[in-house]
Structure 1
Amino acid sequence: MQSSLNPSRLTLAALLVLSVNAAAQERAGGMLEEVVVTAQKRTESLTDVPISIAVMSSEAIVKTGVRQMREVAEFIPNMSISGGNDSTTAVRIRGVGANTRNIGFDTRAGVYVDGVYMGQSPAQNLDILDLERIEVARGPQGTLFGKNTVAGAINLITRKPSREQELLVTGEMGNYDSYRVSAIGNLPLGKDAAARFSIVDHNRDGFIKNVTTGTRHNEQDGTAMRAQFAFGGEHYDVNIAGDYLESERVSFFGAAISDWSGSVPNTASPGRFNIDNNFDNNEEREIWGLSATVNVDLGSDYNLASITAYRDTSIERRQDTDHSFNDMLFVNYPDAYEQTTQEFQLFSPDSGRLKYVAGLFLYDEKAVSSRQVTIGPDIGIVFQGLAPPLAPFGAAFAGAGVGTFADVDTRSYAAYINGTFDLTERLTLGFGLRYTDEEREVDFDLVGDIVDLGPIQVPGAAVFGVAVGPVVNGQTVANFQDKKDYDDLSPMISLSYALGDDTNLYVKYSEAFKSGGFNVDFVSENALSEGIDFDQETVDAWEIGLKGTALENRLRYNLVAFQMDFEDYQLNQFVQLENNTSAITIRNAAEVSSRGLEAEVTWYPTNNLMLQAAMGYNDAEFDSFPGGASVRNPAGLGADLAGNKLPDAPEWTSALAVQHNLPLAALNADLVTRVDWTYSDSFYATEDNVSFARPGSSLVWGEVDSYSLLNGRIGLEAESWSAYLWGRNILDKEYDQAWTADFLGTVANFPGDPRTYGVEVSYRFL
């Protein structure tokens, strides 16, 4: 049941003005306040840092109405975060990222909260909660952040406990029966101690209807909380933090537009937001962690920091993998991660020509995963396409299972240094060096039931083309055990030149690496015999940028051009085979390049009006990928994909906005109006860069069209309270976020969210 709020009135109100993009800063009489960042582990002006950084302040977080990390990506050019579900969250920066459900495959972009690495894909789509700002550092950041980050780092900086007593409560209601309630409190505990807590609970009905069961998919239902306790003395301070997130929801893994084979259009669930699964997809996620950050004054202006953290992430995904009302295949994917990290940082004095941070990072992760597929009674439909002799025996396979079970242990240590040396008053040399040693150990089983057909015994794994091992306790068990070591030395060097008091020009070169791993998934016999490991990848990156302010500090700009060249680029593919199934494969593409531009501008033409624009251009392609094509490629299976675009990598992304504050003296408040416009260019969904399911099929898919979205809010804001009407996708634009093909070949798309709207009220008790 939807809310009674009128969307046309909200649209009219929001369109009174144009709106703003992703790094809005608080007003100061029309003057831009200095933006400070900690991307280089020191508090520095954004203008002085030789890194392409997008910053979203606390005000921008509130005014844009972002609720989760994937919504933040809408406002950051050359960045995307996949939607639909949380188990395969993929963060991409400059066209490169990691789209996988595999515990043996690391992400390329790291998400950090107060310097703590949050872990793998299931932990990356966090709820936005009590943040001071979000920093997105694009490009390799290995000499600055603990974990390997070849694409970039997203750093979430929380608000810390302070000496001011505070309680902020916020309530929100909207269409699709959505609600969101949150509370943020700060409590002084004497002269040198304070505590801070925050909690949010949210819920929203799904907009994807399962016509078979009547349930709505892609709902939101979760709770997140964080608590911090800070204390200190003359020469030290300590912050102890804990956080917890739980979510249980009817999730979404794509709306089928084909039958299981990927060739015949699906007619069972007509309509953009309809599916016809025989049971409802479900996803449960639990994430929690503890950390202790200690800063010690060593004297002579030297400081030592220690960050100790433990993270625990678990997610369970239950899915109808054939995407139909037929009971063919049911999958259950539980994954769990435990990680312990320790980082030490030594800070040199801020005075003098030489400044540096030297660090030591220790990382230990234990990951456990299983992939359990249960065959349903309607599997005979598949056998008619895969193995006609087995078709009469389809019912005999009902209840049989095929599964993978894997343990992957990762131990890593890294030593790094990052610093600057002032060559002259205007010219500064930046330098960095990181050494990483990483060890991975795997124990992997691919298990299958044996089906008794009377005259013959058929291994369930063999039916679907996956590896069959020796019979152990009545099941086939293919086992793989291995241990791999990886090490790398990555340098960074930059030159920054002050063109004036408010303008800096820089050029930067950096290297980074991503360790290899193991493809612990449903792999073929050949893949298992050849070894399921893949090699490490490396990247060389160039960057040149111009940053500054102008017009008496009313205009801020950041302009960056970049080139990133990858060797042995790791890629996770559904490789479509001749028998209509897919082999899930992680392999190394020989060479990949990503080049482009990033530009961000903030301007106050008057004291009450702020304009912003941000643009990203990204040309990401395979320079060489022998044997990378699948059967859907016109050149056929195994062709070289050189010249093809990377999947899920739009060339152009942009965001425009305007925010207007109209003082209302009678209410001692401001009327605040804001509208955000975002744009994404078209892109391909697969490495093959084609727009059909397979040769000879009339089913068109594989390319996501370009789209633009309009969001906005209008309301009153005072010192202690605020009330807003808000809307997302105000024009109710129909657009797609992604395409996918599942194990049996089902083609499915991910439609973007329809128009959502609501009202939000906040009150601050001082």
Structure 2
Amino acid sequence: MKNNTIKLSLLSAAVLVALQSQSAFAQEEVVEQEEVVEQVKKKQKVETITITSQKRIERLIDVPISVTNVGHEELKQRGVKKLQDVSEIAPNISMTGGKNFNAKITIRGVGANSRNIGFDSRVGVYIDGVYLGQSPAVNQGLVDLERVEVLRGPQGTLFGKNTIAGAINLISQEPTDEFEGSVNINAGSNNLREYNLKLNLPLSDTTAAKVFLNKSEEDGYMKNTYLNTKPGGQDSLAGRVNLISELSDNLRLSFSGDYSKQDLTAFSDMGMTPIFGGTGHPFDGMLEAIYGDVLGGTADSKYENYQDRDVFEDITIWGSSLTLDYDMDNDFAFKSITAYRDTNIDTAIDSDHSYVDWLHTPYTDAYQQTSQEFQLISPDGRDFKYILGAYLFSLDSTTVRAAIGGPEIAWAGIDPSSPVVSIDGKVDTSSYALFSNGSYDLSEDLVLGFGVRYSSETKAVDWSIDGDNSGGFKMGTAHLVDERTDTHLSPSLNINYSLSENSQTYARVSTGFKSGGYNLDFVSNEVIEDGIDFDKETVTSYELGYKAELMDYSLRLNASLFYAAYEDYQVNQYIELVGGTTALSITNAAEVLTQGFELEVDYQMTDNFNISGSLGLLDATFDSFIGGGANGSDASGNQLPNAPKVAASLSLQYYQEVAALSSSIMYRVDYNYTGEQYFLVNNDDGYTVPSTGETVDFDKAESFSMVNARISLLTDSGDWEVSLWGRNLTDSDHLTNSFKEFFGGIIGAYAKPRTYGIEAKFNF
């Protein structure tokens, strides 16, 4: 009832404020801007990109931020299906695959997953200005989008929800005033079957809607030889409705609603060692004597395991938003965004990663969030332009988790009739922020930009853990009721200098923060005694950039140098306990430094041949993290997890006209290179099993390359198109994840093997 009241009151406030505005909706100015852009496009070979990352229609080269823009056509040409695929395009961004439960997005070496309801992510993902929420909700299907904008560095003065590392902005295609639609069918390896339907429905002279439905099924690409199953598959259903209505000359309403249901047999991390890491632990010897080899995986294949349980994920996500836009008589604009999001996930992990029914851990997490954002936007065409914003955010998070022992755990002196560990708790988060950003034209060529954000975030926690039945694993027992509030003032300043009409340089200093929280996971008594709360972190970021469209608009360049210093950086990691087992810990590292270089190039060599590419150089390290490594070792100087020093991409695209078929053929190849990286704070180069002397993959991933390709036959009329596609054509089997599980065994996961298929689209 409380949530419904909040939602209704926020919605009512938005509508009342909007209806009280005595303004006229100045459509003429927007139309004039779009006409100017179209005129420019006709005179060039590389399309001039316009984006709205700063809440205005601007040329990409005029925006003093490191931004990657991926438009609708490029998304289609690359065959991009999910948010994770964008990491192959933008420099210095990565996203872990496999389980959505703990999906992690990293920008410039900095990121986090939110598998813990007391721990927030660092990269914000937004769709049409609405924050999507925690890790289970972010790996969205990228369908019916106008473009994707990836903004690197702190962006708290541009978006309602605070984002300390960067933001990914998903912008939907708006409905039009014509009836049209399309049917898309995609079939491929692993018995992939994907169908989607898109309809654009003009409902009246002033109202139009767009409806999108998607159904996707795919078999798994791994093999569980114990259960004779194929993990790695998925079955999902998704739908989205967008509606736009010009209610009057001065009032524009946008409504969107979406729903998705995903049932996954997740990409299962495999046990690479005996349950206890082959350390000679008595239980390893005892279990091997009874059951034989207790490896969770197999040395014969990176895609086979031997477990009594498959990992599953059942995720339900839905939400809606209402946006009201106005232009006042004095040319000011007002925007209100009211939104509600709901995410639920059920998952269970085989914690021993073996065929022995030793331990599994089910999780049920739920997130319900309400947000309200107001923006006042000053007129364009003036020397002084600015945006004033206010943001209200409420998030109710709940978790129910347990470690459930099977009959064999009785060998450890633990009662299998009761949970080994049980967790039940909630965190209620409420925050508000006031933010502003703007610019002042000092001269025709020199622009001064500014921004400031004041944030206040309160987290109230009521959480219990019962580890009395955990025996020698020494899991904690506690009941925590607490509340903490973090506030922060985050200013930014930039200067933009125009070298010519089509080339700009900029310098930017920005700051940000991430609120503190609580380590509400499987923790030990030792962790509880040290305190399960952690402090906020802050960042100061410096950036120099150059953007240009050269050679008669045939070449576009975006380059940036950056340096960022994070204070009290929050680190979520497995720590080793006495006896070789592990527990989850969140602590504040003293300082993290991340610095590097980014380059994006787009060259239209001929009318039919395009070359594009990117380069990311990165040095992201723990400048000071005393006692942060395994067994309390000093992690200072270690490389941040998921922060490769080098990442590069190269894309070739060619169109060939086929006059006899009134069609053309598009050939496209995308190459991606990722340098070596670590997955854990300790920066190990592998793990040697003490009992055998065998070295297994652990922590460090070697460099790898991947190639994707697509060939499309496109009719000149646009009625239909058909494509042959392939991903990971080199069949790279590089390591994608590695860590020590609860018992101390080494766990690993590898890239999805080569896939291929055929896709057809029919427009009407």
TM-score scaled by length of structure 2: 0.90
Map of 1:699 onto structure 2 = 695
Does the alignment pair 1:266 with 2:295?
yes
Q: Does the 8 Å contact 1:30/1:554 carry over to 2?
A: yes
CA distance in 1, matches of 2:651, 2:251: 43
**One-letter amino acid of the structure 2 residue matched with residue 467 of structure 1:** G
**One-letter amino acid of the structure 2 residue matched with residue 342 of structure 1:** Q
State the Cα distance separating 1:182 from its structure 2 match. 0.8
CA distance in 2, matches of 1:34, 1:263: 59
CA distance in 2, matches of 1:559, 1:379: 56
Deviations 1:471-517 (A, max 9, x none): xxxxxxx2011100100000000000000111000000000000000
**One-letter amino acid of the structure 2 residue matched with residue 618 of structure 1:** L
State the Cα distance separating 1:380 from its structure 2 match. 4.9
Choose from 456, 475, 491 the match for 1:466.
475
**One-letter amino acid of the structure 1 residue matched with residue 438 of structure 2:** G
Map of 1:319 onto structure 2 = 349
Does the alignment pair 1:123 with 2:142?
no
Map of 1:436 onto structure 2 = 455
State the Cα distance separating 1:100 from its structure 2 match. 4.2
Map of 1:87 onto structure 2 = 101
**One-letter amino acid of the structure 2 residue matched with residue 359 of structure 1:** G
Map of 1:550 onto structure 2 = 550
State the Cα distance separating 1:695 from its structure 2 match. 8.8
Q: Does the 8 Å contact 2:547/2:559 carry over to 1?
A: yes
Deviations 1:222-271 (A, max 9, x none): 11111011111211100111001110121133111111112369386331
Map of 2:712 onto structure 1 = 715
- Unpaired segments ≥5 residues, structure 2: 1-39, 280-293
**One-letter amino acid of the structure 2 residue matched with residue 277 of structure 1:** Q
SS of structure 2 residue aligned to 1:293 = strand
Deviations 1:413-438 (A, max 9, x none): 00000001000000000000000011
State the Cα distance separating 1:102 from its structure 2 match. 0.3
CA distance in 2, matches of 1:733, 1:29: 42
CA distance in 1, matches of 2:455, 2:676: 37
Map of 1:677 onto structure 2 = 671
SS of structure 2 residue aligned to 1:47 = helix
SS of structure 2 residue aligned to 1:63 = helix
Does the alignment pair 1:404 with 2:433?
no
Q: Does the 8 Å contact 2:201/2:209 carry over to 1?
A: yes
Does the alignment pair 1:349 with 2:345?
no
State the Cα distance separating 1:404 from its structure 2 match. 1.0
CA distance in 1, matches of 2:312, 2:433: 38
SS of structure 2 residue aligned to 1:489 = strand
Map of 2:253 onto structure 1 = 238
Q: Does the 8 Å contact 2:93/2:108 carry over to 1?
A: yes
State the Cα distance separating 1:350 from its structure 2 match. 0.1
Map of 2:576 onto structure 1 = 576
Out of 398-407 and 293-302, give the one that drifted further.
398-407
Map of 1:585 onto structure 2 = 585
CA distance in 2, matches of 1:502, 1:268: 56
Query: Comparing both chains, which one has the higher relative contact order based on Cα–Cα distances under 8 Å and sequence gaps of 6 or more?
Result: 1
Map of 2:738 onto structure 1 = 739
SS of structure 2 residue aligned to 1:606 = coil
Q: Does the 8 Å contact 1:303/1:348 carry over to 2?
A: yes
SS of structure 1 residue aligned to 2:101 = coil
State the Cα distance separating 1:612 from its structure 2 match. 0.3
State the Cα distance separating 1:581 from its structure 2 match. 1.0
CA distance in 2, matches of 1:695, 1:755: 31
* 1:266-345 matched pairs, under 5 angstroms: 266=295, 269=298, 270-345=300-375
Q: Does the 8 Å contact 1:353/1:421 carry over to 2?
A: yes
Q: Does the 8 Å contact 2:113/2:120 carry over to 1?
A: no
Q: Does the 8 Å contact 1:254/1:740 carry over to 2?
A: no
Map of 2:227 onto structure 1 = 213
* 1:648-687 matched pairs, under 5 angstroms: 648-687=642-681
C-alpha change, 1:65 and 1:345, in structure 2 (3 Å) is: same
Q: Does the 8 Å contact 1:496/1:505 carry over to 2?
A: yes
State the Cα distance separating 1:377 from its structure 2 match. 1.3
CA distance in 2, matches of 1:753, 1:609: 30
Q: Does the 8 Å contact 2:51/2:57 carry over to 1?
A: yes
* 1:405-420 matched pairs, under 5 angstroms: 405-420=424-439
CA distance in 1, matches of 2:562, 2:419: 52
State the Cα distance separating 1:27 from its structure 2 match. 9.4
**One-letter amino acid of the structure 2 residue matched with residue 62 of structure 1:** K
CA distance in 1, matches of 2:499, 2:681: 43
State the Cα distance separating 1:29 from its structure 2 match. 8.8
Map of 1:532 onto structure 2 = 532
C-alpha change, 1:674 and 1:30, in structure 2 (3 Å) is: farther
Deviations 1:1-27 (A, max 9, x none): xxxxxxxxxxxxxxxxxxxxxxxxx99
Q: Does the 8 Å contact 2:421/2:475 carry over to 1?
A: no
Out of 522-531 and 136-145, give the one that drifted further.
522-531
Map of 2:759 onto structure 1 = 760
Map of 2:599 onto structure 1 = 599
Map of 1:250 onto structure 2 = 265
Map of 1:368 onto structure 2 = 398
Choose from 82, 100, 110 the match for 1:96.
110
C-alpha change, 1:759 and 1:318, in structure 2 (3 Å) is: same
Q: Does the 8 Å contact 2:560/2:598 carry over to 1?
A: yes
Map of 2:747 onto structure 1 = 748
CA distance in 2, matches of 1:662, 1:676: 18
Map of 1:492 onto structure 2 = 492
- Unpaired segments ≥5 residues, structure 1: 1-25, 384-389, 449-458, 469-477, 631-636
Map of 1:424 onto structure 2 = 443
SS of structure 1 residue aligned to 2:643 = coil
Does the alignment pair 1:190 with 2:209?
no
C-alpha change, 1:267 and 1:242, in structure 2 (3 Å) is: closer
CA distance in 2, matches of 1:61, 1:260: 43
SS of structure 1 residue aligned to 2:456 = strand
CA distance in 2, matches of 1:268, 1:355: 60
CA distance in 2, matches of 1:510, 1:72: 25
State the Cα distance separating 1:216 from its structure 2 match. 0.7
State the Cα distance separating 1:528 from its structure 2 match. 2.1
Does the alignment pair 1:114 with 2:123?
no
State the Cα distance separating 1:720 from its structure 2 match. 1.7
State the Cα distance separating 1:80 from its structure 2 match. 0.8
**One-letter amino acid of the structure 2 residue matched with residue 266 of structure 1:** L
Q: Does the 8 Å contact 1:100/1:572 carry over to 2?
A: no
Deviations 1:248-297 (A, max 9, x none): 12113311111111236938633110011112221100000010000012
Q: Does the 8 Å contact 1:685/1:703 carry over to 2?
A: yes
Q: How many residues align?
A: 704
Q: Does the 8 Å contact 2:296/2:305 carry over to 1?
A: no
Task: State, as a whole percentage, how many aligned pairs show the same letter.
Answer: 39
CA distance in 2, matches of 1:408, 1:63: 42
C-alpha change, 1:586 and 1:497, in structure 2 (3 Å) is: same
